[in-house]
Structure 1
């Protein structure tokens, strides 16, 4: 009976319900950020209570289509560069790009099956070696998650994005927040 799960949930201490909710929100956020890399959305079991988190297919495909449209727009705006554009901008070899990517100093994001590099590796607004150092701190996180770290405003950075904070010389703070972000996303 479905009501049994609700009654069990209502009997849990508030702190435990809060922890369950927080985990659920974190999982949902990861799923939205990592549309390409996230497992299919389906029932998620959380002990001791089972809470089903099914997002209907039309909603999922609509969100996916909106994300893809926004990603295509980033390519059109020049915010994302293909490998040859990046190499030309930086005047480096294909091998150097590959080595930096393997070492997590650079990363790619996928748009319609093609890999792109964020323009901030090449635009010179922030010292590339600093950007690469921060990217490396983000480890093996998927590219779109790393993108989110660099471009989204964060309270922990004084309501600046990581790129804005780096531009203001707050390198140590950004590195500290990058480590915390990596830890949070890999829990």
Structure 2
């Protein structure tokens, strides 16, 4: 489910400093990305208090990547995985009104030659409205333009109410 929400007022914090190349991704995050959540028998965004949901997006890369920039906001907290590797643990300190940026070297396991990247997010709703907002830019060393995807851009984001956290390769896991 998606809902277009004006995110222009969301401040951006970083686990790293934002670069000039991040400007277009940040603009897309604020103007095109939409909040998503799992489909349930409640209105958009509502979820039982203190329950978690898993979201997954598999992206096919057009060549060997160098890195990814991931911008994320979650109501209320999240854990972030790239190809099954924990990038950010759910720590209870996330403020849903603040977006966070991560810079992740790719591939995350250097011995692997990958043609796709799996982004996994475990989101927790503490109370009331729930949602996840993400924009990702994959950079390539020999390509002048990056690949970009975001929540709400298409229907390829998979949201699960029930999941097994580290199940590789099946529809009920994050990896």
Q: TM-score range by the shorter chain?
A: under 0.3
Instruction: Give the strand-richer structure, 1 or 2.
Output: 2
TM-score scaled by length of structure 1? 0.25
Instruction: Give the helix-richer structure, 1 or 2.
Output: 1
